[in-house]
Every structure is written in C-alpha cells, then in structure tokens.
C-alpha cells in the first residue's frame, strides 16, 4: 500500500482533533485526520454540552484565561461553521449558574469564586453569589432546597453532536482528508518526519498532532511526548421534551434547543468501565428534582455513560515534543468549551510550528516536578 503524504496528520476525530484539523485546514495545510472508529472511547459523543467558564481554573488562572478566551472565540466559530455547513451548533451564552443546595455549599462556593477572582488579578473575573429569592426570579420553578447560586456572565451551552458534525463537514468540504477506521497502531518518529501505520494505510507528514483522547496515553511515548490521561466516568439522563423553561444552563441541568432537559453528570473513578449504575443515576435525578421539583414529572427518555479524558490535575495538556519537534499533543476534559480555542488559537500555533508561551503551564513537564518537600 502506498504511503499518503500530507503537511500534517491529526490523530483522533473527536472534538479536540476535529477542531484542530478544521483550524489547520483553515491555515491552508494539507491535513489528514485519522480516527479509530465506533469501538473507541469517545467522550465527544457522550458529553453534557456546556460551554462553561465559571468553575475553570481554581488555583490555575492561566486555565481560567484560556477558557475565557475560548468562550470568546465560540461565537465566531459557530458563525463560521454555520456559514460553511448550514449546521446550527445551538450556541447560547446567556450566563450560567451553579446551584447550591445547602448553606455549606453556598459558603464553599462563595469562597472558591472569591479566591478565583483574586487569582485572576488584572484580568478580572465577573461573578455574583445570588440568594434564593433573587434566583427564583431568574429560574422558574426553583425548588425550596436551593439556597442560592454562583452566577457568571461567561457561561453557555451548545449541541456537542452538532458541533462535531459541523467541524467534520467544514473540514472535509474545505479539502481536508478524513480517514475513519484508521486506528494508529504504530509509527516512527524523527524531527519533523513522522510516519504512522493504520489498517487504512501508512501516512507520513513533517507534523503530527496527537488528539486521540484516552488513546493519547499509549501513543505519546512513540513521539517523545507524555500524556498521562485516565478515564473518569460521567452519567447523564435526558428527559422528554418540555416547553422552554430554563433561560440559562446550570452546571448539572440544562435545557437543549429541542426542549429536552439534560441532567448530569457524575464523576466516577471506575477505570474503563462504561456501564451505567442505577444508584448513581438515582443521585443525579434526585439532585435535579431537588433543584427543580417539576423535573420529577418528566419521563427520562435516554441515559448513558461516557469517559472523560482526565489529566492528573484535571487541566489540559498541550505540548510539542523536544525530542521530535513537529509532534504535538492536545488533551482536555472540556472539549466543547475549548473548541473555540482549539480551532482558532491552538491550530494557528501548530501551523506556525511553535506553541505560544501562554501554553507553557499546560506542558506535561508539570508532572515531572518533584513534590515540594
Ligand atoms: C459525561 C461527560 C460530560 C462532559 N461534559 C462536558 C461539557 O459539558 N462541556 C465540555 O466542554 N466538555 C465536556 N466533557 C468533556 C468532553 O466531552 C471531552 O473533553 C472531549 O470530548 C474530548 O475530546 P477528544 O477528542 O479529546 O476525545 P474523544 O472524544 O474521546 O475522541 C478521541 C478520538 O480519538 C480516536 N482514537 C483513539 N485512539 C486512536 C488511535 N490510536 N488512532 C486513531 N484514532 C484514535 C477515537 O476514535 C476518538 O474518536 C464531558 C465528558 C463526559 C464524558
């Protein structure tokens, strides 16, 4: 079989790889996007769809800034994708709330947001802690158990499946080559000279981007990179459609453009186990019904679990290999939120061949630092 050459290979056709591939194609690079296929773990097809800022970057203001930057890029990305593909990604950014179901939760949340505002420094962080009475004016049918919430103007949500489809369509219609059922099973690396083997053939390029989600953990060492990601399970329930009730998303409850209410999402350390667990589903439903008692009247029509792609500290990993320049890695557990940054900020850096210093704190080198004595 002949080797297919290109300017750059992107490994992984989920939200991270597709956003980067779309951006690289936009930079004029001949781009090949390789994807394993339906049997792979695919967070991009099982997530909650928040474009979420307010809780990102506690103790890591550089992550807060990157997330805010991405939320700011989202309207441009959504408009560009709609113009190119006709697909509406259902982006709404009306602000969002994190509901607190006890005084303790409210106090803890308030402390956390205040700390993040201090950490943000001159960059600023707009938020408010809102008490129940005012919140009840904003969110109809609020349950008596809700004592208040944190609110920020930056938050929103979108349809993650529409986003994934739009990124793929925009990429291929612009001349990008998408190759499904092409799991990278091996490869060779030299500076600016990479070759990978798949069942769909051999591919070669002077640049490669590893964006294979949980698959990156195995692939990275071949290319002189380190991406110690682990799975973290999340379970989601979806109700039947309701009339439009919720004017803004909450951290674990949001109404989709179609009217269904999504209830999420657990955080479980169970390895690669993708089964659903009724006790966890019950907890998710119970918290939703405490927040909005009318939700208990709606039928659950779908439920699933999916695996997040988590670094040890929960932050993204972006790196270029020192040993094999031209090899990049990109991993995160907020691939919907960060799609704007990946397509419009990260891809141009990769096209230039240099990651901006703003991404230095996201290098996996942070895991090499010995713990302070
Ligand atoms: C329950 C849950 C809720 C979430 N909620 C949100 C949310 O509200 N907002 C938000 O921003 N994010 C959310 N996320 C996170 C978001 O879904 C992920 O950050 C994002 O999908 C990660 O995308 P990815 O492309 O890195 O990984 P994946 O979607 O896992 O895709 C990886 C791709 O790589 C391919 N692959 C793997 N190995 C290979 C290989 N060797 N060769 C070729 N291809 C390979 C696979 O086929 C797959 O398509 C949530 C995740 C979960 C699980």
Nearest ligand 1 atom, CA 233: 53
pLDDT in the model for residue 193: 98
Using a 10 angstrom Cβ sphere, with 0-12 exposed, 13-18 middle and 19 or more buried, the burial of residue 255 is: buried
What residues does ligand 1 touch, defined as CB less than 6 Å away? 11-17, 34-37, 40-44, 46-50, 52, 183-184, 211-213, 215, 219, 234, 236, 265, 306-309, 332-337
Residue 124 banded pLDDT, cuts 50, 70, 90:
very high
Element (H, E) at 196: strand 193-198
Per-residue 3-state assignment (H helix, E strand, C coil) for the chain: CCEEECCEEEECCCHHHHHHHHHHHHCCCCEEEECCCCCCCCHHHCCCCEECCCCCCCCCHHHHHHHHHHHHHHHHHHHHHHHHHCCCCCCECCCEEEEECCHHHHHHHHHHHHHHHHHHHHHCCCCEEEEHHHHHHHCCCCCCCCCEEEEECCCEECCHHHHHHHHHHHHHHCCCEEECCCCCCEEEEECCEEEEEECCEEEEECEEEECCHHHHHHHHHHHCCCCCCEEEEEEEEEEEECCCCCCCCECCEEECCCCEEEECCCCECCCCCCCCCHHHHHHHHHHHHHHCHHHHHCCEEEEEEEEEEECCCCCCEEEECCCCCCEEEEECCCCCCCHHHHHHHHHHHHHHCCCCHHHHHHCHHHHCCCCCC
pLDDT in the model for residue 303: 97
Average pLDDT over residues 211-239: 97
- For the chain, the average pLDDT equals 96
Residue 360 pLDDT greater than 70, yes or no: yes
Residue 369 banded pLDDT, cuts 50, 70, 90:
low
- Spatial distance between the Cα atoms of 278 and 289, rounded to a whole number of angstroms: 16
Average pLDDT over residues 51-69: 96
Residue 253 pLDDT greater than 60, yes or no: yes
Residue 41 pLDDT greater than 90, yes or no: no
3-state secondary structure of 4: strand
What does DSSP say about strands 3-5 and 230-241: parallel, antiparallel, or unpaired? unpaired
Nearest ligand 1 atom, CA 35: 44
Average pLDDT over residues 165-187: 97
Residue 205 banded pLDDT, cuts 50, 70, 90:
very high
Residue 207 pLDDT greater than 90, yes or no: yes
DSSP 228: -
Q: Evaluate whether 227 touches 331 at the Cβ level (below 8 Å).
A: yes
Residue 37 banded pLDDT, cuts 50, 70, 90:
confident
Q: How far is the CA of 47 from the centre of ligand 1 (A)?
A: 8
Take residue 208 and report the two structure tokens written for it: 């490669």
Q: Evaluate whether 361 touches 62 at the Cβ level (below 8 Å).
A: yes
Residue 33 pLDDT greater than 90, yes or no: yes
Q: How far is the CA of 13 from the centre of ligand 1 (A)?
A: 9
Most informative mutation of 71, 250, 333, 339 for ligand 1 (most atoms within 8 A of CB): 333
3-state secondary structure of 365: helix
Most informative mutation of 43, 162, 220 for ligand 1 (most atoms within 8 A of CB): 43
Average pLDDT over residues 306-317: 96
Using a 10 angstrom Cβ sphere, with 0-12 exposed, 13-18 middle and 19 or more buried, the burial of residue 97 is: buried
Residue 372 banded pLDDT, cuts 50, 70, 90:
very low
Residue 373 banded pLDDT, cuts 50, 70, 90:
very low
> Given CA atoms 168, 173, 175, 177 in this order, what sign does their dihedral have?
positive
Most informative mutation of 182, 209, 213 for ligand 1 (most atoms within 8 A of CB): 213
Residue 156 pLDDT greater than 80, yes or no: yes
Q: Evaluate whether 152 touches 120 at the Cβ level (below 8 Å).
A: no
- Which superfamily does 230-310 belong to? D-Amino Acid Oxidase, subunit A, domain 2 (3.30.9.10)
Nearest ligand 1 atom, CA 45: 29
Q: 319 - beta bridge partners? A: 329
Q: How far is the CA of 311 from the centre of ligand 1 (A)?
A: 13
pLDDT in the model for residue 56: 94
Residue extents of the structural domains in the chain: 3-50+161-228+313-367, 96-153, 230-310
CA 57 to chain centre: 14
- Spatial distance between the Cα atoms of 101 and 122, rounded to a whole number of angstroms: 32
Q: How far is the CA of 48 from the centre of ligand 1 (A)?
A: 12
Q: How far is the CA of 118 from the centre of ligand 1 (A)?
A: 32
Residue 38 banded pLDDT, cuts 50, 70, 90:
confident
Q: Work out the angle at residue 16's Cα, subtended by the Cα atoms of residues 13 and 18, and round it to the nearest 5 degrees.
A: 45
Average pLDDT over residues 80-109: 98
Fold of 3-50+161-228+313-367: FAD/NAD(P)-binding domain (3.50.50)
Nearest ligand 1 atom, CA 41: 30
Most informative mutation of 309, 314, 332 for ligand 1 (most atoms within 8 A of CB): 309
Percent of the chain with pLDDT over 90: 95
Nearest ligand 1 atom, CA 49: 8
- Spatial distance between the Cα atoms of 189 and 219, rounded to a whole number of angstroms: 11
Residue 95 banded pLDDT, cuts 50, 70, 90:
very high
Q: How far is the CA of 16 from the centre of ligand 1 (A)?
A: 7
Average pLDDT over residues 112-134: 96
Q: How far is the CA of 101 from the centre of ligand 1 (A)?
A: 30
Take residue 189 and report the two structure tokens written for it: 């690396």
Q: How far is the CA of 345 from the centre of ligand 1 (A)?
A: 19
State pLDDT tens for residues 344-357: 999 999 999 999 99
Q: 329 - beta bridge partners? A: 210, 319
Nearest ligand 1 atom, CA 18: 25
Average pLDDT over residues 215-244: 96
Percent of the chain with pLDDT over 70: 98
CA 104 to chain centre: 29
Average pLDDT over residues 261-266: 94
Given the structure tokens 């996996």, which residue do they identify? 364
Average pLDDT over residues 145-169: 98
């Amino acid at each position: 079989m002949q080797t297919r050459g290109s300017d750059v290979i992107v490994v992984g056709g989920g939200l991270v790889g597709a956003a980067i591939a779309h951006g690289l194609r936009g930079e004029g690079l001949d781009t090949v996007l390789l994807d394993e296929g339906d049997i792979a773990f695919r967070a991009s097809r099982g997530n909650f769809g928040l474009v979420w800022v307010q809780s990102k970057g506690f103790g890591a203001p550089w992550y807060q800034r990157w997330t805010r930057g991405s939320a700011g890029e989202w309207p441009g990305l959504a408009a560009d994708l709609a113009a190119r593909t006709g697909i509406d990604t259902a982006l709404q950014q009306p602000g969002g709330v994190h509901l607190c179901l006890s005084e303790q939760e409210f106090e803890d949340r308030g402390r956390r947001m205040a700390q993040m505002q201090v950490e943000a420094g001159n960059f600023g962080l707009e938020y408010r802690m809102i008490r129940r009475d005012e919140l009840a004016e904003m969110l109809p049918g609020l349950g008596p158990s809700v004592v208040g919430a944190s609110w920020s103007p930056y938050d929103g949500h979108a349809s993650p499946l529409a986003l994934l489809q739009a990124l793929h369509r925009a990429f291929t219609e612009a001349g990008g080559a998408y190759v499904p059922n092409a799991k990278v099973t091996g490869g060779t690396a030299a500076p600016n000279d990479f070759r990978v083997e798949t069942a769909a053939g051999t591919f070669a390029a002077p640049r490669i981007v590893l964006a294979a989600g949980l698959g990156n953990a195995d692939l990275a060492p071949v290319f002189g990179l380190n991406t110690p990601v682990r799975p973290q399970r999340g379970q989601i329930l979806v109700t039947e459609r309701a009339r439009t009730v919720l004017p803004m998303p909450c951290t674990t409850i949001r109404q989709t453009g179609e009217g269904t209410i999504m209830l999420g999402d657990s955080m479980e350390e169970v390895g690669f186990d993708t089964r659903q667990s009724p006790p966890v589903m019950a907890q998710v439903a119970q918290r939703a019904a405490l927040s909005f008692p009318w939700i208990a009247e709606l039928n659950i029509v779908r439920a699933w679990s999916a695996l997040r792609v988590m670094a040890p500290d929960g932050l993204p990993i972006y790196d270029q290999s020192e040993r094999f320049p031209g090899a990049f890695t990109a991993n995160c557990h907020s691939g919907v939120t960060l799609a704007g940054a990946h397509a419009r900020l990260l891809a141009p850096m990769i096209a230039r061949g240099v990651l901006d210093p703003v991404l230095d704190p996201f290098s996996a080198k942070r895991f090499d630092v010995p713990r302070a004595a």
